[in-house]
Chain A
Amino acid sequence: MTRKEYIIKQKKMGRHIFGVFPAQYPREILWAMNVAPVEIWDPPLEITGANAHLQPYICSVVKLGLELILQGKCDDLDGFLFPHTCDSIQNLASIVNDYLGMEKPCYFFYHPKAPFRDSSRIFYMEHLKGLAALLKQQLGPLDFSKLNQCVEQGRQVTSLLRELYNMRASGEISASNVQFYRVIRQGEFLLPDDFIPLLEEFLTASKGRSVAGPAVILSGVLPNPPEILTLLDELGVRVADDDFLSCSRRLLVPFSQARDPFEAMAETYFAMPPCTTKGSSIDERLNYLFGKIEGSGARGVIFDMVKFCEPELFDVPQLVKELKERGLATLVIDSELNQGLSGQLNTRVEAFVEMIS
């Protein structure tokens, strides 16, 4: 089922559909309020109208998101949620809410950035509850027991994803890189009732030996262009783990034992893997990457950058330097979303694989 077909089906079932921009947001609150959050990362569109609103140096995640709205492809949605991920998404929120004359409700979700203090936790809890209170005005009251149930479902999703990632790091998954991310990315729009069985089925079906080629780790915002995964499959390379914002950084979160669902969500946020959008330090990010490298036997890291992604690109030179100093191979590529791999980018990836083979 395509993303669009799924949205139509959910709509017919009486669910509210929200367009959610990257990256961190309390999905459990939305699920509990009968909302199907559909994340907007890289819709396959040609950018035409968005360029009139955004500077040339804005990343294509933001441009494509705005383009989706401008082309009327969000007309059936019941609202938008803009997490404060970076300045560009913050700016997008303002353009959509303040200047486009949208009549749909727009919600904003602010999360604290590192270094975290006690006040950060108070701030986060206030914003979780504040978001729930605002949504209540449109969607009705939040059922506390339903929220608890959704938090539990979130744990199940995480548990299955963790198992999948562990299997992959150990070379015990027969699925290709393309197949793996196709399934992971279904979580960008499937509700847990549908995502959990999909993950369970994939786990069972893909148990087996991974390809024998060299292992690498991918880092960046999201696995795009998809052609890079196809190329790595063709070259016999195993993506052993990732440090993608859209994937492991926000999905592989530690479990919280808190009984209060808001407490549980807050604990989860603060325990998330280090990320540029949380303001994590380079040392934290390096330790996280080294952990992944050691755990998977990867021979190198490919930084798959979205052009003009300021938070990510700010960290990359230091990460590359430190990784190289420890004898690890690195490759940095940057591209616009959905523009494929040019012949020259192809060559760089192939040369990198030849280098580590």
Chain B
Amino acid sequence: MDYFAGIDVGSLSTDVVILNGGGEVCGYSIIETGANSTEASEDALENALAQAGIGRGDLVKIVATGYGRVSVPLADRKFTEISCHALGAYYLFPYTGTVIDIGGQDSKVIRVGEGGKVVDFTMNDKCAAGTGRFLEVMAAKLRVPLDEMGDLSLHAKGEVQISSVCTVFAESEVVSLVARNHPREEILRGLHRAIVSRVWSMVKSIGVNGEVTMTGGVAKNSGVVVLMEERLGKTIHIHSEPQIIGALGAALLARRAFG
């Protein structure tokens, strides 16, 4: 059988998805990118291949995406993560019209058209605010494990306002709030509200079209998701592994282009 691989080299994680010719996911892997994108892509690919129970020779084509796509020498072709997230989300949730991808270093809002093609997009690439990095910095400051931030914030009885979504300024605001003994849960909720506000301005500039799917690591944060759903007034589709959607899209493009 023919197999296809998609490799998404992001700023924080490198993700690989292996698809068979029928379009089924038969293996995937998520590892930290670390300092060497090439090594990370190879390691992640080996892990995914092992999970799929196949060897590298079984792969027909490989597509790379993500900011480190240029550092994947084993890829046959490269596509941007914008096209890949759109296609991946559309494949999983076929009524997707809008994708919100909050990744480690940037966030994007993508309007998706027929067949999972990008119709329009906007991207926050000016600073870490509104990205996973923002949450990472705040998690460290508040000494909360990153993967517990969302659930903790849902237990907040109130909410503090974080007036700025600039990571540096927000960090100093958080320090002041901690010093005034504000409950950690309320600070977290305020931080999530800040990130949602930031992304919301991008959503508004593109417009919400059809159903909404959220991708990227921040989609695992229930606190952000709840507040985003509140703003949207609708439920957001989230895959159990939202980080691999870019890699899935890349694998689908490999299959589509070469299969």
Contact = CB atoms under 8 A, between A and B. Distances in A.
Interface of A: 324, 329, 342-345, 347-348, 350-351, 354-355
B58 interface: no
Contact of B125 (A348, A350, A354): A348
Given A350-B80, A351-B123, 5 more contacts: A329-B120, A344-B106, A344-B125, A347-B80, A355-B118
Nearest to B123: A348
B84 to A, nearest CB: 10
Contact of B121 (A342, A343, A345, A351): A351
Contacts of A354: 79-80, 82-83, 118
B198 interface: no
Given A343-B67, A348-B125, A324 B120 contact: yes
Contacts of B79: 354
B119 interface: yes
B118 A347 contact: no
B120 A347 contact: no
A351 B120 contact: no
A350 B118 CA distance: 12
Interface of B: 67, 79-83, 106, 117-121, 123, 125
Nearest to B68: A343
B203 to A, nearest CB: 16
A344 B82 CA distance: 11
A19 B148 CA distance: 61
B76 to A, nearest CB: 16
A344 B80 contact: no
A351 B67 contact: no
Given A354-B118, A355-B117, A355-B118, A347 B123 contact: yes
Nearest to A353: B80
B119 A342 contact: no
Q: Which one of B80, B119, B120 has the highest number of Cβ atoms from chain A below 10 Å of its Cβ?
A: B80
B119 A347 contact: no
A355 B67 contact: no
Nearest to A317: B205
30 contacts: A324-B120, A342-B125, A343-B67, A344-B67, A344-B106, A344-B123, A344-B125, A345-B125, A347-B80, A347-B81, A347-B82, A347-B123, A347-B125, A348-B125, A350-B80, A351-B80, A351-B83, A351-B118, A351-B121, A351-B123, A354-B79, A354-B80, A354-B82, A354-B83, A354-B118, A355-B83, A355-B117, A355-B118, A355-B119, A355-B120
Contacts of B83: 351, 354-355
Contacts of A348: 123, 125
Contacts of A355: 82-83, 117-121
A344 B126 CA distance: 9
